[in-house]
A and B are shown apart, each in its own frame.
Chain A
Amino acid sequence: MTDLTLTMKYRPDQRVDMSPITCDKLAGLDLAEIAAIELQNGKRKLRVDELFSISGSDVGKIHINNSFSKLDYIGCGLDGGSILVTGDVGAYLAMDMRAGEITVSGNVGIYAACQMKNGFLQVLGDVSDFLGSALPGNKKGIQGGTVLIKGNAGDRVGDHMRRGMILIEGGTGDYCGARMTAGTIAVMGETGRNIGYGMRRGTLLLWQQPKIPVTFGDCGTHTFSFLPMLFKTMAKFDSKFSDSSQHFNRVHRYGGDIAGIGRGEILVRVGSA
């Protein structure tokens, strides 16, 4: 049984809601039924086979080829299985994902891993704003699982993050870790302004010295024994995060945001510029 492969035939002008295409939702459907699924496209609906040529039958492993930046909600609510996307994707990638694995070869739009519950999301390119955040008005962003970004991320990474781990090999925009409640965001590259704004708890683990907001207190340099344990969990990834030369247990700690409850922390690798 080969993987279910959806190859885009053309690029529609309007955005496409891909949320019906997940491993769990397609379980038990034959190819004809999958072909007949209707996807919201702007104000009209498109059959899957209008938009994609379909091959393979294993719905536990879905490939989406020739993807582009108007395919939204890929892997939304995914509850097991894997989705491999070749190309770029739109907004709300892996939103509310519960289990399984998603890999995207290109760049990703806003609100990726938004309110994600568990599972593994890997993006080989860049992601836009609100990675791992809560939808506007909601109080819980990503609540579990791991997100690995090989490129850069936009503003507001982990806004209202509740649990889980976001790993970014590149840098981030402004307000990284804003309003975080818990969890870990690790960033190897540069971070923007107002890092940890309104942060309640959680950890921002940085390889480069950020501009520390005035509402964070300098707690000095320390050695933490939980850091090697955290890095050990990253060893399984095909990533710079698995490179032991990038690992450390000695950090400069800044506590905050003391404009709020101030139990969050920014940990900066000692010796970073």
Chain B
Amino acid sequence: MIINGVLVDHTFAEAFSMKATRVVITAHTEQWAFNAAKSMTGFATSVIGCGCEADIERYLKPSETPDGRPGVSAMLFTMGAKSLVKQLETRAGQSVLTSPTSALFSGIDGGIRIPLGKNLRYFGDGFQTSKVINDNRYWRIPVMDGEFLVEETTGQVNAIGGGNLLILAESEVDALEACEKAVLEMRKVPNVILPFPGGVVRSGSKVGSKYPALTASTNDAFCPTLKGITKSELSPEIESVMEIVIDGLTETDIKKAMKVGMETFCSIGAYNGVKRISAGNYGGKLGPYHFHLQEIMND
């Protein structure tokens, strides 16, 4: 499939089952809600080294938040339920509880309820109090700037992680600028996050390594500097490859984000250096979810 000169590979992105949750962080200003959310979702690009994958989902208007203040919604993804609970609690405690004027709420009504403020409340050293509002319990923890309000639980749901797009471009700048545009559009899709810095990853990996201690290593087939010395996937004109990784709550959400991303790449076109769109997979043997690029574009 070729659109505007951009070749869309006949391949698929292979993705995995994950557990996810969403929280809503509010504060006195949008900037302070962002500060808390940025810290909470920091160092969370990949479950391999960070314990979870997390990112800000979107900004929320005061009319969209429980306490009528500006806010941000953020999502966390992990491979298992236990690690999600641990990561959420640690990050909420160190990054949101500590952030001036912040309040923290559940962002998912259904699902299995997991602790949000349930254990954080003990920071109050006995001075914490709770309020049940609309059948939800909120903890009021006295802190130095006033009071930290946190909902007792949030929802844990099944989710999908590892949807991805590879963009193959004529230069590093072409790849980067195309990714920036695509990320901007993809982040408008609800229920998905792009956990890597700026939404883009340049160090895509393959499973395994020549070094026994490592479970993953550089994806040499897509490294342009190795074109002549390894079994490369790259044609001679490709000088740079970048990847956008997508975690989402459902297959539909990830497909939507991938389609938006691919449409953006195609609209930039081969004339501007975007030559090809591909995706990372493991031959379909590891992940239960296969996102076929051409099928998504035809939907």
Tell yes or no: B96 within 8 A of A by CB: no
Which residues in B have their C-beta under 8 angstroms from that of A203? 129, 131
Question: Contacting chain A: which of B66-74, B222-230, B282-290?
Answer: B66-74
How distant is A181 from chain B, measured CB to nearest CB, in Å?
12
Tell yes or no: B147 within 8 A of A by CB: yes
Q: Which of B67, B103, B138 has the most CB of A within 10 A?
A: B67
Cβ contact within 8 Å between B146 and A226: no
Bound CA–CA A233/B66 (angstroms): 11
Question: Contacting chain B: which of A21-29, A126-134, A217-225?
Answer: A217-225
Tell yes or no: A5 within 8 A of B by CB: no
Cβ contact within 8 Å between A222 and B138: no
Identify which of B67, B126, B129, B132 contacts A163 (C-beta below 8 A).
B132
Cβ contact within 8 Å between B129 and A263: yes
Which residues in B have their C-beta under 8 angstroms from that of A263? 126-127, 129
Tell yes or no: B298 within 8 A of A by CB: no
Q: Type the 1/0 row for B157-169, where 1 means its CB is closer than 8 Å to any CB of A.
A: 0000000000000
Identify which of B127, B129, B133, B147 contacts A229 (C-beta below 8 A).
B133
Which residues in B have their C-beta under 8 angstroms from that of A228? 67-68
Cβ contact within 8 Å between A226 and B26: no
Which residues in A have their C-beta under 8 angstroms from that of B26? 225
Q: Type the 1/0 row for B120-151, where 1 means its CB is closer than 8 Å to any CB of A.
A: 00000011011111100010100000110100
Which residues in A have their C-beta under 8 angstroms from that of B147? 222, 224-226
Cβ contact within 8 Å between B138 and A229: yes
Identify which of B67, B126, B127 contacts A226 (C-beta below 8 A).
B67
Bound CA–CA A229/B62 (angstroms): 12
Secondary structure dominating the interface of B: strand
Known: A225-B149, A229-B66, A229-B67. A184 touches B131 (CB 8 A): yes
Cβ contact within 8 Å between B131 and A226: yes
Tell yes or no: A201 within 8 A of B by CB: yes
Which residues in B have their C-beta under 8 angstroms from that of A224? 140, 146-147, 149
Which residues in A have their C-beta under 8 angstroms from that of B68? 228-229, 232
Cβ contact within 8 Å between A225 and B69: yes
How distant is A241 from chain B, measured CB to nearest CB, in Å?
14
A-B contact count (CB 8 A): 42
Bound CA–CA A122/B283 (angstroms): 65
Residue of A nearest to B126 (CB): A263
Bound CA–CA A228/B133 (angstroms): 11
Which residues in A have their C-beta under 8 angstroms from that of B140? 224, 226
Tell yes or no: A257 within 8 A of B by CB: no
Bound CA–CA A163/B127 (angstroms): 18
- In B107-128, which residues have CB < 8 Å from any A CB? 126-127
Which residues in A have their C-beta under 8 angstroms from that of B127? 263
Q: Type the 1/0 row for A165-209, where 1 means its CB is closer than 8 Å to any CB of B.
A: 000000000000000001010000000000000000101000000
Cβ contact within 8 Å between B132 and A233: no
Bound CA–CA A42/B69 (angstroms): 57
Cβ contact within 8 Å between B146 and A233: no
Cβ contact within 8 Å between B138 and A226: yes
Residue of A nearest to B131 (CB): A226
Which residues in A have their C-beta under 8 angstroms from that of B149? 224-226
Bound CA–CA A184/B138 (angstroms): 13
Tell yes or no: A36 within 8 A of B by CB: no
How distant is B7 from chain A, measured CB to nearest CB, in Å?
52
Identify which of B67, B103, B129 contacts A265 (C-beta below 8 A).
B129
Tell yes or no: A212 within 8 A of B by CB: no
Identify which of B67, B126, B129, B133 contacts A233 (C-beta below 8 A).
B133
Identify which of A201, A223, A230 contacts B129 (C-beta below 8 A).
A201
Residue of B nearest to A222 (CB): B146
Q: List 26 A-B contacts (CB under 8 A).
A: A163-B132, A184-B131, A203-B129, A203-B131, A222-B146, A222-B147, A223-B146, A224-B140, A224-B146, A224-B147, A225-B26, A225-B67, A225-B103, A225-B147, A226-B133, A226-B138, A226-B149, A228-B68, A229-B66, A229-B133, A230-B131, A230-B133, A232-B68, A233-B133, A263-B129, A265-B129
Interface residues, chain A, with chain B CB atoms under 8 Å away? 163, 182, 184, 201, 203, 222-226, 228-230, 232-233, 263, 265
Known: A163-B132, A225-B69. 15 other contacts (CB 8 A): A203-B131, A222-B146, A222-B147, A223-B146, A224-B149, A225-B67, A225-B103, A225-B149, A226-B131, A226-B140, A229-B66, A229-B67, A230-B131, A233-B134, A263-B129
